[in-house]
Structure 1
Amino acid sequence: MTFQDFNFNEHLTEGITSMGYTTPTPIQGMAIPIILDGKDIIACAQTGTGKTAAFLLPVLEQIGRTKKNHTSTLILTPTRELAQQIDQQVEGLAYFTGISSIAVFGGGDGHVYEQQRRGIQNNVNIIIATPGRLIAHLTSGVLKLNQINHLILDEADRMLDMGFQDDIMRIISYLPKERQTLLFSATMPGRIRNLAKSVLKNPEQINIALSQPAVGIDQQIYRLHDQQKTPLLQHLLKDGNFVSTIIFASRKEIVKALYKELKGIQLKAEAFHSDLEQKEREEILLKFKNRQLPIIIGTDALSRGIDVEGIDLVINYDVPGDAEDYIHRIGRTARAATTGTAITFVNHRDERRLKGIEELIDKKITQHPLPEHLTSIAEVKHEPKPNQNRGNRNKKRVWKK
Structure 2
Amino acid sequence: MTFSDFNFDANLFEGLNSMGFKTPTPIQAETIPIIKDRHDLIACAQTGTGKTAAYLLPVMDAICRTPDRPPISALILAPTRELAMQIDQQVEGLAYFTGITSIAIYGGGDGIGYEQQRRALRDGVDIVIATPGRLIAHMSSGTVRLGEIQFLVLDEADRMLDMGFKDDINRIVREVATERQTLLFSATMPPKIRSFARGLLKHPQQVNIAISQPAERILQQQYRVTDEQKTPLLKQILLSGQYKSVIVFSSTKEKVKALGRELKKLELAVQPFHSDLSQEEREKILLRFKNKQLPILIGTDVLSRGIDVDGIDLVVNYDVPPDPEDYIHRIGRTARAERTGTAVTFVNHRDLRRFAAIEKLMERKVAETPLPEVIGKSPELTAEQQTPKKRNKKRRFGPRKKREGAA
TM-score (norm 1): 0.91
What pairs with 1:2-401 in structure 2 (closer than 5 Å)?
2-67=2-67, 68-210=69-211, 212-375=213-376
Alpha-carbon contact 1:248-1:318 (below 8 Å) kept? yes
One-letter identity of the residue aligned with 2:164: G
Aligned residue pairs total: 379
One-letter identity of the residue aligned with 1:275: D
Question: CA deviation digits over 1:231-253, x for unaligned, max 9?
Answer: 21122212342211100011222
2-side partners of 1:211 and 1:321: how far apart?
15
Q: Indicate how the Cα distance of structure 1 residues 69 and 169 shifts in structure 2: closer, same or farther if over 3 A, else same.
A: closer
Structure 2 alignment gaps of length 5 or more? 381-407
One-letter identity of the residue aligned with 1:171: I
- State the secondary structure of the residue aligned to 1:296: strand
2-side partners of 1:256 and 1:168: how far apart?
32
Which has more radius of gyration? 1
Shift of 1:363: 2.4
Alpha-carbon contact 1:145-1:175 (below 8 Å) kept? yes
- State the secondary structure of the residue aligned to 2:189: coil
2-side partners of 1:266 and 1:114: how far apart?
40
What's the counterpart of residue 390 of structure 1? none
Q: Indicate how the Cα distance of structure 1 residues 7 and 376 shifts in structure 2: closer, same or farther if over 3 A, else same.
A: closer
One-letter identity of the residue aligned with 1:207: N
Alpha-carbon contact 1:228-1:378 (below 8 Å) kept? no
Task: Quote the RMSD (CA, aligned, Å).
Answer: 1.7
Shift of 1:341: 1.5
Shift of 1:73: 0.6
What's the counterpart of residue 404 of structure 2? none
Alpha-carbon contact 2:46-2:187 (below 8 Å) kept? yes
One-letter identity of the residue aligned with 2:39: K
1-side partners of 2:239 and 2:3: how far apart?
46
1-side partners of 2:314 and 2:110: how far apart?
34
One-letter identity of the residue aligned with 1:56: L
2-side partners of 1:124 and 1:39: how far apart?
24
- State the secondary structure of the residue aligned to 1:205: strand
Alpha-carbon contact 1:25-1:49 (below 8 Å) kept? yes
1-side partners of 2:126 and 2:337: how far apart?
32
Shift of 1:216: 2.7
Shift of 1:378: 8.2
Alpha-carbon contact 2:224-2:378 (below 8 Å) kept? no
- State the secondary structure of the residue aligned to 2:184: strand
- State the secondary structure of the residue aligned to 1:337: coil
Percent identity of the aligned residues? 65
One-letter identity of the residue aligned with 1:228: Q
One-letter identity of the residue aligned with 2:124: N
Shift of 1:332: 1.3
Shift of 1:211: 5.6
Alpha-carbon contact 2:370-2:378 (below 8 Å) kept? no
2-side partners of 1:238 and 1:16: how far apart?
40
Q: Indicate how the Cα distance of structure 1 residues 313 and 6 shifts in structure 2: closer, same or farther if over 3 A, else same.
A: same
What's the counterpart of residue 398 of structure 1? none
Shift of 1:377: 9.9
Larger RCO, structure (CA 8 Å, separation 6 or more)? 2
Alpha-carbon contact 1:227-1:377 (below 8 Å) kept? no
What's the counterpart of residue 387 of structure 1? none
Alpha-carbon contact 2:246-2:295 (below 8 Å) kept? yes
Shift of 1:102: 0.5
TM-score (norm 2): 0.90
Shift of 1:361: 2.6
2-side partners of 1:318 and 1:364: how far apart?
18
Alpha-carbon contact 2:215-2:335 (below 8 Å) kept? yes
- State the secondary structure of the residue aligned to 1:367: coil
> After alignment, is 252-261 or 368-377 more displaced?
368-377
2-side partners of 1:18 and 1:42: how far apart?
30
1-side partners of 2:74 and 2:106: how far apart?
16
Alpha-carbon contact 1:310-1:335 (below 8 Å) kept? yes
- State the secondary structure of the residue aligned to 2:316: strand
> After alignment, is 222-231 or 76-85 more displaced?
222-231
2-side partners of 1:194 and 1:257: how far apart?
41
Alpha-carbon contact 2:212-2:325 (below 8 Å) kept? no
